[in-house]
Structure 1
């Protein structure tokens, strides 16, 4: 990979990480645990939550579980980033890595993750999350899209060989 492209990915990683850490710090210093401010009724609130687990509260109170998982994930992300020839995959891996680092920072320094984005979607009160989580989800979406694109190309190729 060329240095220029690597620099662009590093810049994205730093920007997402900085936005994540800044927003979490701002919420932590301006709100109390459990405090909520409705911005769009029945849709979006800012709610400060100290999350000692993962999404939907799984493994709550067991922060130590996440350290080896995070290390393995980080190694895998770096490995696939270096090996990948796909720009979309690299963008996805960059976003996932930024999210991983943002939540790892919280777990190492605070022993919990600061969450604050609170949505109700079609009546379902979605788990509260943060910018790092957005990076992970959008990044995984990029990786999924890459898989779909590659499978479609393979399918088209196989179809052309049958004619």
Structure 2
């Protein structure tokens, strides 16, 4: 249950920040927060990361529903073990739901975190995207740790 609370908090925080941007900023307005590094920029995205598959909402609906179903299945399967894996799943689920809400109600995703990292103008993103990224990284790390623990163990024949 506690992992679903993490998911809920991510969704709520994501939606609240998107709502604040949509309510208080015009599209493409930008406010510099950390000079030369971080801006809050009101942007919309009808695609996935970096705008790929722009306008393919039906595909995002199908994929998101499948991903949510798989995540809930695995969260139930592993609910009493692997806490860091479960946190990773909760972050992915929260991020997926956060962007799914935008796609369903707005037909686009509200993005606003605008970074310039070592001269690279990173694509604008949101908290749901950040949660998805952190969750995927946690899941990969847990899979690598599990693989290293099991390396050298032979399956009994």
What is the TM-score when the length of structure 1 is the normalising length?
0.88
Structure 1 position 86 matched with structure 2 position 86: no
Give how far 1:145 is off: 0.9
TM-align CA RMSD: 1.4
Structure 1 position 10 matched with structure 2 position 13: no
Q: Aligned pairs, how many? A: 152
Structure 1 position 31 matched with structure 2 position 48: no
Ranges in structure 2 where 5+ consecutive residues have no aligned partner: none
1:30-109 to 2 correspondences below 5 Å: 30-84=24-78, 85-109=81-105
Q: In proportion to residue count, which structure has more helix?
A: 1
Q: Higher mean Cα deviation, 21-30 or 8-17?
A: 8-17
Give how far 1:62 is off: 2.0
Q: Which residue of 2 aligns with 1:128?
A: 124
Q: Distance in 1 between matches of 2:7 and 2:129?
A: 13
What is the TM-score when the length of structure 2 is the normalising length?
0.91
Instruction: Provide runs of 4+ in structure 1 moved above 4 Å.
Output: none
Q: Distance in 2 between matches of 1:135 and 1:71?
A: 17
Q: Higher mean Cα deviation, 27-36 or 84-93?
A: 84-93
Ranges in structure 1 where 5+ consecutive residues have no aligned partner: 1-5, 159-163
